[in-house]
Amino acid sequence: MSSSCPFLEVSDNSSNNTAADHNFSFTARLETQNTLSITMPSFLITGSSRGLGLAFATELLKTPANKVIATARNTAGSAGLQALATKYTKNRLVLIDLDVTNPTSIKNAVVEAEKHLPDGLDNLISNAGIATDPLASFDNLDLDDLKKEVEFNTTTPINIIRGFLPLIRKGNAKKILVVTSQLGSIEIGFHMVNLSNAYSVAKAALNMLIRKWSPVLKSEGITAVLIHPGWVGDTDMGSSIADWVAQNAPDLRSVPEEESAEGCMKVLGKATLEDAGLFYNFDGTKIPW
Q: Which residues bind ligand NAP (CB under 6 A)?
A: 46-47, 49-53, 72-74, 99-101, 127-130, 179, 181, 228-229, 231-232, 235-238
CB of 180 to ligand NAP, least distance (A): 7
Rank residues 94 and 237 by Cβ distance to ligand NAP and give the closer one: 237
Q: Smallest gap, in angstroms, from Cβ of residue 10 to ligand NAP?
A: 32
Residue among 50 and 211 whose Cβ is closer to ligand NAP: 50
Which of 91, 89, 156 lies closest to 117 in space, CA to CA?
91
Residue 170 backbone phi and psi in degrees, to 5: -80, -20
Rank residues 222 and 245 by Cβ distance to ligand NAP and give the closer one.
245
Closest separation in Å from C-beta 159 to ligand NAP: 11
Q: State the minimum distance, in angstroms, from the CB of residue 137 to ligand NAP.
A: 20
Residues 185 and 134 sit within 8 Å (Cβ to Cβ): no
Report in angstroms how near the CB of residue 171 gets to ligand NAP at its nearest. 22
Least gap, CB of 201 to ligand NAP (angstroms) = 13
C-beta closer to ligand NAP: residue 38 or 60: 60
Which is closer to ligand NAP, CB of 77 or CB of 118? 77
Q: Which is nearer to ligand NAP, 38 or 237 (CB)?
A: 237
Contact criterion met (CB below 8 Å) for 41 and 61: no
> How many residues are listed for the chain in this entry?
289
